[in-house]
Protein backbone atom coordinates (compact mmCIF):
# COMPACT_ATOMS: atom_id res chain seq x y z
CA UNK A 1 0.00 0.00 0.00
CA UNK A 2 1.39 3.41 -0.94
CA UNK A 3 2.22 5.63 2.05
CA UNK A 4 1.47 9.39 2.05
CA UNK A 5 5.18 10.15 1.70
CA UNK A 6 5.51 7.95 -1.40
CA UNK A 7 2.77 9.54 -3.44
CA UNK A 8 2.88 12.42 -5.88
CA UNK A 9 4.13 15.82 -4.70
CA UNK A 10 1.34 17.85 -6.29
CA UNK A 11 -0.67 19.47 -3.43
CA UNK A 12 -3.74 19.90 -5.60
CA UNK A 13 -4.23 16.15 -5.99
CA UNK A 14 -5.79 13.73 -3.50
CA UNK A 15 -2.53 12.93 -1.69
CA UNK A 16 -3.16 12.18 1.96
CA UNK A 17 -0.19 13.81 3.69
CA UNK A 18 0.73 13.25 7.32
CA UNK A 19 1.14 16.18 9.70
CA UNK A 20 4.85 15.48 10.12
CA UNK A 21 5.47 15.28 6.35
CA UNK A 22 4.00 18.75 5.92
CA UNK A 23 5.93 20.09 8.91
CA UNK A 24 9.18 18.92 7.30
CA UNK A 25 8.09 20.45 4.00
CA UNK A 26 7.29 23.75 5.69
CA UNK A 27 10.72 23.86 7.35
CA UNK A 28 12.39 23.18 3.99
CA UNK A 29 10.29 25.54 1.86
CA UNK A 30 8.99 28.44 3.95
CA UNK A 31 10.27 28.59 7.53
CA UNK A 32 13.42 30.59 6.72
CA UNK A 33 11.38 33.30 4.98
CA UNK A 34 8.66 33.35 7.65
CA UNK A 35 11.21 33.71 10.47
CA UNK A 36 13.73 36.07 8.81
CA UNK A 37 13.00 38.89 11.29
CA UNK A 38 13.65 36.69 14.33
CA UNK A 39 16.91 36.25 16.16
CA UNK A 40 18.58 32.83 15.98
CA UNK A 41 17.36 32.05 19.49
CA UNK A 42 13.78 32.97 18.65
CA UNK A 43 13.97 31.00 15.40
CA UNK A 44 14.96 27.91 17.36
CA UNK A 45 12.14 28.51 19.85
CA UNK A 46 9.64 29.00 17.01
CA UNK A 47 10.62 25.77 15.28
CA UNK A 48 10.47 23.94 18.61
CA UNK A 49 6.94 25.27 19.17
CA UNK A 50 5.77 24.12 15.74
CA UNK A 51 7.27 20.71 16.46
CA UNK A 52 5.38 20.61 19.77
CA UNK A 53 2.21 21.51 17.89
CA UNK A 54 2.80 18.65 15.44
CA UNK A 55 3.22 16.19 18.34
CA UNK A 56 0.04 17.55 19.94
CA UNK A 57 -1.95 16.76 16.80
CA UNK A 58 -0.19 13.44 16.18
CA UNK A 59 2.71 13.47 13.74
CA UNK A 60 1.55 10.40 11.78
CA UNK A 61 -2.06 11.54 11.42
CA UNK A 62 -3.53 12.52 8.09
CA UNK A 63 -3.77 16.30 7.79
CA UNK A 64 -7.35 15.82 6.59
CA UNK A 65 -8.45 14.50 9.98
CA UNK A 66 -7.52 17.65 11.94
CA UNK A 67 -10.55 19.52 13.29
CA UNK A 68 -10.79 23.17 14.49
CA UNK A 69 -11.49 22.24 18.11
CA UNK A 70 -8.06 20.57 18.31
CA UNK A 71 -6.46 23.86 17.28
CA UNK A 72 -8.42 25.66 19.96
CA UNK A 73 -7.34 23.05 22.49
CA UNK A 74 -3.72 23.75 21.64
CA UNK A 75 -4.32 27.49 22.14
CA UNK A 76 -5.59 26.78 25.65
CA UNK A 77 -2.59 24.62 26.41
CA UNK A 78 -0.20 27.29 25.08
CA UNK A 79 -1.70 29.97 27.32
CA UNK A 80 -1.35 27.77 30.39
CA UNK A 81 2.34 27.03 29.92
CA UNK A 82 3.80 30.26 28.49
CA UNK A 83 4.25 33.89 29.44
CA UNK A 84 2.78 36.87 27.63
CA UNK A 85 6.20 37.70 26.15
CA UNK A 86 6.30 34.47 24.14
CA UNK A 87 3.62 35.37 21.59
CA UNK A 88 6.12 35.00 18.71
CA UNK A 89 5.93 31.23 19.22
CA UNK A 90 2.21 31.08 18.54
CA UNK A 91 2.66 33.36 15.51
CA UNK A 92 5.03 30.77 14.07
CA UNK A 93 2.43 28.04 14.46
CA UNK A 94 -0.13 30.27 12.72
CA UNK A 95 2.29 30.74 9.81
CA UNK A 96 2.64 26.97 9.53
CA UNK A 97 -1.15 26.60 9.39
CA UNK A 98 -1.35 29.40 6.82
CA UNK A 99 1.25 27.55 4.73
CA UNK A 100 -1.01 24.49 4.71
CA UNK A 101 -4.08 26.29 3.39
CA UNK A 102 -2.15 28.56 1.00
CA UNK A 103 -0.60 25.49 -0.62
CA UNK A 104 -3.94 23.60 -0.70
CA UNK A 105 -2.89 20.91 1.77
CA UNK A 106 -6.01 21.77 3.78
CA UNK A 107 -9.33 23.16 2.61
CA UNK A 108 -9.99 25.13 5.81
CA UNK A 109 -7.92 27.97 7.24
CA UNK A 110 -7.17 26.37 10.61
CA UNK A 111 -5.01 29.30 11.74
CA UNK A 112 -8.13 31.33 12.53
CA UNK A 113 -8.82 28.93 15.40
CA UNK A 114 -5.43 29.58 16.99
CA UNK A 115 -6.01 32.55 19.28
CA UNK A 116 -4.43 33.91 22.46
CA UNK A 117 -6.90 35.15 25.02
CA UNK A 118 -4.52 36.40 27.68
CA UNK A 119 -6.80 38.92 29.31
CA UNK A 120 -9.63 36.40 29.54
CA UNK A 121 -7.27 33.85 31.03
CA UNK A 122 -6.11 36.39 33.63
CA UNK A 123 -9.70 37.00 34.68
CA UNK A 124 -10.30 33.26 34.74
CA UNK A 125 -7.30 32.72 37.02
CA UNK A 126 -8.54 35.45 39.32
CA UNK A 127 -11.94 33.77 39.50
CA UNK A 128 -10.37 30.40 40.20
CA UNK A 129 -8.40 31.93 43.05
CA UNK A 130 -11.62 32.98 44.77
CA UNK A 131 -13.93 30.13 43.77
CA UNK A 132 -13.94 26.41 44.38
CA UNK A 133 -16.19 23.43 43.83
CA UNK A 134 -17.00 21.14 46.73
CA UNK A 135 -16.87 17.45 45.88
CA UNK A 136 -17.06 14.31 47.94
CA UNK A 137 -14.19 11.87 47.50
CA UNK A 138 -16.45 9.53 45.58
CA UNK A 139 -17.62 12.41 43.36
CA UNK A 140 -14.04 13.44 42.68
CA UNK A 141 -13.02 9.86 41.88
CA UNK A 142 -16.04 9.52 39.63
CA UNK A 143 -15.05 12.58 37.62
CA UNK A 144 -11.48 11.29 37.31
CA UNK A 145 -12.82 7.97 36.02
CA UNK A 146 -15.08 9.76 33.54
CA UNK A 147 -12.12 11.81 32.31
CA UNK A 148 -10.11 8.64 31.81
CA UNK A 149 -12.94 7.12 29.75
CA UNK A 150 -13.24 10.27 27.63
CA UNK A 151 -9.51 10.20 26.93
CA UNK A 152 -9.86 6.63 25.66
CA UNK A 153 -12.87 7.66 23.59
CA UNK A 154 -10.92 10.51 22.05
CA UNK A 155 -8.19 8.09 20.96
CA UNK A 156 -10.81 5.73 19.51
CA UNK A 157 -12.46 8.57 17.59
CA UNK A 158 -9.11 9.73 16.23
CA UNK A 159 -8.70 6.31 14.65
CA UNK A 160 -12.26 6.43 13.37
CA UNK A 161 -11.62 9.84 11.79
CA UNK A 162 -8.48 8.58 10.06
CA UNK A 163 -10.30 5.57 8.65
CA UNK A 164 -13.24 7.68 7.48
CA UNK A 165 -10.94 10.25 5.86
CA UNK A 166 -9.28 7.50 3.86
CA UNK A 167 -12.63 6.51 2.39
CA UNK A 168 -13.25 8.66 -0.69
CA UNK A 169 -14.18 12.33 -1.02
CA UNK A 170 -13.89 14.07 2.38
CA UNK A 171 -16.32 16.79 1.24
CA UNK A 172 -19.20 14.29 1.12
CA UNK A 173 -18.21 11.92 3.87
CA UNK A 174 -20.96 11.58 6.49
CA UNK A 175 -19.04 9.12 8.74
CA UNK A 176 -16.08 11.52 8.81
CA UNK A 177 -18.24 14.50 9.78
CA UNK A 178 -20.02 12.46 12.46
CA UNK A 179 -16.72 11.28 13.94
CA UNK A 180 -15.38 14.84 13.96
CA UNK A 181 -18.47 16.14 15.72
CA UNK A 182 -18.27 13.36 18.30
CA UNK A 183 -14.61 14.07 18.94
CA UNK A 184 -15.33 17.78 19.40
CA UNK A 185 -18.02 16.97 21.98
CA UNK A 186 -15.71 14.57 23.81
CA UNK A 187 -12.96 17.18 24.01
CA UNK A 188 -15.43 19.78 25.25
CA UNK A 189 -16.52 17.45 28.05
CA UNK A 190 -12.89 16.73 28.90
CA UNK A 191 -12.13 20.44 29.25
CA UNK A 192 -15.16 20.95 31.48
CA UNK A 193 -14.14 18.09 33.79
CA UNK A 194 -10.51 19.21 33.91
CA UNK A 195 -11.59 22.75 34.84
CA UNK A 196 -13.76 21.42 37.65
CA UNK A 197 -11.07 19.10 39.02
CA UNK A 198 -8.57 21.96 39.16
CA UNK A 199 -10.72 23.94 41.59
CA UNK A 200 -12.28 21.01 43.45
CA UNK A 201 -12.13 20.79 47.22
CA UNK A 202 -12.81 17.43 48.83
CA UNK A 203 -15.41 17.59 51.61
The residues that bridge with 134 in the sheet, in sequence order, are: 201
- Residue 78 falls inside a structural domain: yes
In the predicted model, is pLDDT for residue 186 greater than 70? yes
In the predicted model, is pLDDT for residue 14 greater than 70? no
The CA distance from 22 to 64, in Å, is 12
Residue 166: give its domain's CATH number: 1.10.287.180
Domain end (from 99, 124, 149):
124
| Residues 61, 141 within the same domain | no
Q: What is the 3-state secondary structure (H, E, C) of 19-60?
A: HHHHHHHHHHHCHHHHCCCCCHHHHHHHHHHHHHHHHHHCCC
Question: What domain count does the chain have?
Answer: 2
| Residues 117, 143 within the same domain | no
The CA distance from 103 to 111, in Å, is 14
Q: What share of the chain is helix, strand, coil (3-state, %, to 5)?
A: 70, 5, 25
- Residue 6 falls inside a structural domain: no
The CA distance from 85 to 9, in Å, is 38
| pLDDT tens digits, one per residue of 71-122 | 877 877 776 666 544 567 778 888 999 999 999 888 878 888 877 655 454 4
Domain end (from 94, 124, 154):
124
In the predicted model, is pLDDT for residue 137 greater than 70? yes
Range of the domain at 51: 14-124
The CA distance from 162 to 166, in Å, is 6
| Residues 151, 75 within the same domain | no
- Residue 67 falls inside a structural domain: yes
Q: What is the structure's pLDDT at 116?
A: 64
Residue 95: give its domain's CATH number: 1.10.150
- Residue 2 falls inside a structural domain: no
- Residue 82 falls inside a structural domain: yes
Higher pLDDT, 199 or 14: 199
- Residue 172 falls inside a structural domain: yes
Domain end (from 67, 94, 124):
124
| Residues 76, 110 within the same domain | yes
163: Cβ–Cβ under 8 A, 6 or more apart, which residues? Answer: none
- Residue 191 falls inside a structural domain: yes
* Average pLDDT value over all residues in the chain: 75
| Residues 104, 23 within the same domain | yes
Q: What is the structure's pLDDT at 129?
A: 47
| Residues 112, 186 within the same domain | no
Are 91 and 78 in contact, with CB atoms under 8 Å apart? no
- Residue 5 falls inside a structural domain: no
pTM of the model: 0.54
Amino acid sequence: MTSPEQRTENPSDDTDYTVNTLFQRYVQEAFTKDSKTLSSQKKKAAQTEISRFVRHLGSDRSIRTIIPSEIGEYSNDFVKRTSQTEHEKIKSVKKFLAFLVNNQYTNANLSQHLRLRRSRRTRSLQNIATKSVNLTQSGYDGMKAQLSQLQKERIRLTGEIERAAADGDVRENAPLEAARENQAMVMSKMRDIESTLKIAEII
